[in-house]
Amino acid sequence: MIDVHILPIALTIVLVGWSSWRFAASQTELLRERRIWLQGCLCIAGGMMVEAQPLLHWRVLDALSMGLLLGGYQQFALVLASLQGRRTWYVADILLCLLTILANTALLPVQWAAMWNVVALGGAFVRLSWLHWQIERLIRQGYPILTTLYALGAVTFALRLAALGWQGGSTMLVDMSDPLLYLFVSTATIYGSFGFLMVILRRRTLHLVRETLQDSLTGALNRRCLDETLQQLRQAVPPFRRVAIAMLDVDHFKQVNDRYGHAAGDEVLRQLAQFCRQSLREQDVFARYGGEEFCVLLPGASTADALRKLDAMREQFARLPLLAGGQTLHCTFSAGVVCWDDAEVNPDKCLHQADDLLYQAKRAGRNCILAAGQAST
């Protein structure tokens, strides 16, 4: 009868792999990675089932089992490397898998084949531990559990290798290492599959957040997110002593649409948004207010600070060649700036004041920044 402990483990691995295949923001998101991960789960589960069956003790089944197990973990490593943009070693992985299959045929004695299997799987666990460490050290959320589990599995494989090689193989030491291998290998595999599922769900959540809070055309924050950010700044503890608020607008945008087409106008807005995001500080907020109008929040900046920053951006953007609709354009923008330095002031009132100053800048000839009682051209 098959080992009943293997059945729930194999089934769990398959179900989590299937879940990672199904639960994505879209069917095309991480399609290749999800497919490879599911294949890896099926290979590992299949290898466990073949190894656990008690009826047939053929070397060819050992070769099949080890090929499936090693191939499954190699596919896990391939996905993790791909998610990090790292180089993948297809040829080396395929050769190692083929050599492992050959080692478990009649070409090598059983003990030598067992030692080869331990080296191959132990190497795979070292690789997975390192790849998980690269991810977990960047996330920095709690203890690096997957790194530790795969590392402990690798250490246990090393102990098993020592037991197999000591005086031709110590049965007692090999038997002692079996429960540890069972514990670390099964736990790391299941937990790793859940970890990949969490990556999928995290990306799905971020996708939904982007749809809710980002403007689909420019990638800037949308009006809803701007309103929420203003409230957060107002309620911040400790509160910001001042926040500069600017409203900016592309000059002669209607002429761009009429002359080059709406697709070219959209491209101008996208490139302006990209330029502003790259030019502003990390703590600054850039949002699309509506049409060709954008809002900039500069926490901690005075009116003079905002004027200097936006005027430098205005000059740089005017010199920037914009590729839109197969044409090279040069556009400018105008802006109005106010400083919110009173916690009791209504943010909406500041936005309206900045908007009024923007239209004064338009009437003053465009391509300029205006604040209350100040101008820069």
The reported pLDDT for the residue numbered 183 is: 80
The 3-class SS string of the chain reads CCCCCHHHHHHHHHHHHHHHHHCCCCCCCCHHHHHHHHHHHHHHHHHHHHHHCCCCCCHHHHHHHHHHHHHHHHHHHHHHHHHCCCCCCHHHHHHHHHHHHHHCCCCCCHHHHHHHHHHHHHHHHHHHHHHHHHHHHHHCCCCCHHHHHHHHHHHHHHHHHHHHHHHHCCHHHHHHHHHHHHHHHHHHHHHHHHHHHHHHHHHHHHHHHHHHHECCCCCCECHHHHHHHHHHHHCCCCCCCCEEEEEEEECCHHHHHHHHCHHHHHHHHHHHHHHHHHHCCCCCEEEEEECCEEEEEEECCCHHHHHHHHHHHHHHHHHCCEEECCEEECCCEEEEEEEECCCCCCHHHHHHHHHHHHHHHHHCCCCCEEECCEEEC
Q: What is the spatial distance between Cα 284 and Cα 295, in angstroms, rounded to a whole number? A: 11
The reported pLDDT for the residue numbered 126 is: 95
Task: Return the C-alpha torsion angle 211, 212, 217, 221, nearest 10.
Answer: -130
Q: What is the spatial distance between Cα 131 and Cα 154, in angstroms, rounded to a whole number? A: 14
Q: What is the spatial distance between Cα 106 and Cα 92, in angstroms, rounded to a whole number? A: 23
The reported pLDDT for the residue numbered 173 is: 65
The reported pLDDT for the residue numbered 237 is: 45
Q: Can you list the residues of the chain whose pLDDT is less than 70?
A: 1-4, 23-29, 138-143, 167-177, 203, 206-207, 209-210, 236-240, 342-345, 373-377
Residues 6+ apart with CB under 8 A from 33: 79, 82, 83
Residue type, 72: G
Q: What values do phi and psi take at 335, rounded to 5?
A: -150, 155
The reported pLDDT for the residue numbered 300 is: 86
The reported pLDDT for the residue numbered 377 is: 43
Taking each helix axis from N to C end, the angle separating 262-279 and 253-260, rounded to the nearest 10 degrees, works out to: 140
The answer to whether the beta carbons of residues 51 and 104 sit under 8 Å apart is: no
- Domain spans of the chain, in order of start: 6-212, 223-376
The reported pLDDT for the residue numbered 241 is: 72
Distance from CA of residue 329 to its chain's centroid? 34
Domain 223-376: top CATH class? alpha beta
